[in-house]
Amino acid sequence: MPKKIAIILGSDSDLPVLEKGFKLTEKLGLDFELRILSAHRTPEAVTEYIASLDERGIDVIIAGAGKAAHLPGVIASQTVKPVIGLPIRASLDGVDALYSIVQMPGGIPVATVGINASDNAVLLAAQILALKYPEITKNLEAHRVEMRNVVLEKDRKIQEKYNK
């Protein structure tokens, strides 16, 4: 399967936040390419990488960043591919990153998920990809059934314990 998702982080210290997301990519049968690039420290490398997305087979980008969180907006300004901003809790409990990502100027949209919500970023990327690759839909549907079954099993156990 060709690479379809680019995951770009501003720092390697953000990698632990992506653990849930990495597990979901595997579960959903998605391929990704991971890069550490900074909007501030490596702007030329960001531009070069974004220019190569088509030849790399990338359809959607997840950009994770903390603090001022400029990376998702910088990326979105250089491509019309969908960009999902993942605010990372690095300071101010992540609210600064959330505000920075969610307040993109008109005309340069960045979809935004919750703080540290790499699982939702991957799920949103998968939903976008499913428009082009229908086989991903089956994996998304199976994931939803699994989540439903987990909740129902927890409910059953709670009822047994407390509703006697």
CB 63 within 8 A of CB 83: yes
Secondary structure tally for the chain: helices H, strands E: 7, 5
User: 146: number of CA atoms within 13 Å, CB side?
Assistant: 9
Query: Would you state the pLDDT for residue 94?
Result: 87
Query: Would you state the pLDDT for residue 2?
Result: 53
| Widest distance between CA atoms in the chain | 65
Residue with tokens 């699982």: 119
Q: pTM for this structure?
A: 0.92
Query: Would you state the pLDDT for residue 54?
Result: 95
Q: How many residues does the chain have?
A: 164
CB 21 within 8 A of CB 125: no
Domains of the chain (ranges; CATH) run 5-136 (3.40.50.1970)
Query: Would you state the pLDDT for residue 3?
Result: 65
CB 65 within 8 A of CB 101: yes
User: 4: number of CA atoms within 13 Å, CB side?
Assistant: 19
pLDDT in tens, the chain (164 residues): 556 999 999 999 999 999 999 999 999 999 999 999 999 999 999 999 999 999 999 999 999 998 888 999 999 999 999 999 999 998 888 899 999 999 988 999 999 999 999 999 999 999 999 999 999 999 999 999 999 999 999 999 999 999 87
